[in-house]
């Protein structure tokens, strides 16, 4: 089994990836499958899950060339599955996560590094529309006070899709991020000013109504990765497009002898 995953994109996006050394993670609230952000018990809270979408299909896909490159020109990037881990240690990870959170006004959840997972395709309605809200209200053991707690179970958000998407054979890098406004409210005691049951409902309503500064997060990878990168040129490219790919590689990575694979497909534009 190949250790590579593949990402289809336009040539314009390819240049941004090289220039910025980032891949874009999009909220499940804007991906092509509109069911993905919806949960059984907390509306579309799945939008707190941000994903970068890849495939393990080594054989190129006509559908992906058309759908994920803009349908005009593009490349398919191949990289080792652990490429986000390269040159990123614990000492640099937490400060980077904080700076990223400040940039996008979000709080990124541990482990801070993108988590890789294969998408599981299913017909099981429970897995498609999972419950995520955990609420606990109980009396204290040694006093008459009421103890309340609320959290979201995010372990399975973004892991399941209906089986009619299975042709994509998708893998995902995933980040969980909540608007910093929610944590600021918590820090300032907004959820400690009333009865526990009322405070839980306030926490829930705040989370439902909060919006993100953007619907994406651009996450860094090491430039070392450029030397691991496999590039396949779209069958929709013309010679000028392919020349641009070479120029962008040289300009942004210094690599001027990269092997650019040509597509085996013949697609009428």
- pTM for this prediction: 0.93
Residue 136 binned pLDDT confidence (cut-offs 50, 70, 90)? confident
Q: Where are the domains of the chain?
A: 4-128+158-179+214-262
The tally of CA atoms less than 13 A away on the side-chain side of residue 127 is 12
pLDDT band at residue 4 using 50, 70 and 90 as cut-offs: very high
Under 8 Å between Cβ of 8 and 64 = yes
pLDDT of res. 149: 78
* 139 pLDDT above the threshold of 80: no
Distances (CA, A) of 168 to 64, 131, 263: 8, 26, 18
Instruction: Say if residue 1's pLDDT is above 60.
Output: no
Token pair, residue 194, equals: 């009333």
What's the rounded Cα separation, in Å, for the pair 105 and 85? 24
Q: What is the mean pLDDT of the chain?
A: 92
């Amino acid at each position: 089994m190949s250790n590579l995953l593949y990402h289809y994109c336009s040539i314009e996006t390819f240049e941004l990836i090289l220039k910025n050394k980032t891949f874009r993670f999009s909220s499940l609230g804007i991906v092509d499958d509109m069911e993905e952000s919806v949960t059984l018990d907390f509306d579309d809270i799945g939008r707190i899950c941000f994903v970068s979408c890849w495939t393990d299909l080594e054989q190129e896909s006509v559908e992906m060339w058309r759908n994920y490159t803009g349908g005009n020109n593009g490349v398919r990037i191949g990289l080792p599955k652990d490429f986000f881990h390269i040159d990123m240690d614990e000492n640099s990870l937490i400060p980077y996560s904080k700076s990223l959170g400040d940039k996008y006004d979000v709080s990124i959840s541990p482990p801070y590094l993108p988590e890789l997972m294969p998408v599981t395709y299913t017909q099981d309605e429970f897995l498609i529309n999972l419950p995520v809200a955990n609420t606990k209200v109980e009396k204290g053991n040694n006093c008459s006070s009421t103890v309340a707690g609320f959290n979201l179970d995010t372990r399975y958000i973004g892991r399941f899709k209906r089986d009619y998407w299975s042709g994509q054979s998708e893998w995902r890098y995933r980040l969980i991020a909540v608007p910093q406004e929610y944590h600021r409210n918590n820090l300032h005691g907004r959820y400690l000013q009333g009865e526990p049951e009322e405070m839980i409902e306030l926490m829930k309503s705040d989370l439902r109504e909060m919006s993100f500064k953007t619907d994406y997060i651009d996450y860094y990878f090491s430039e070392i990765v450029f030397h691991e990168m496999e590039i396949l040129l779209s069958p929709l490219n013309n010679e000028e497009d392919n020349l641009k790919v070479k120029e962008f590689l040289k300009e942004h990575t210094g690599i001027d002898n990269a092997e650019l694979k040509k597509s085996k497909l013949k697609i009428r534009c």
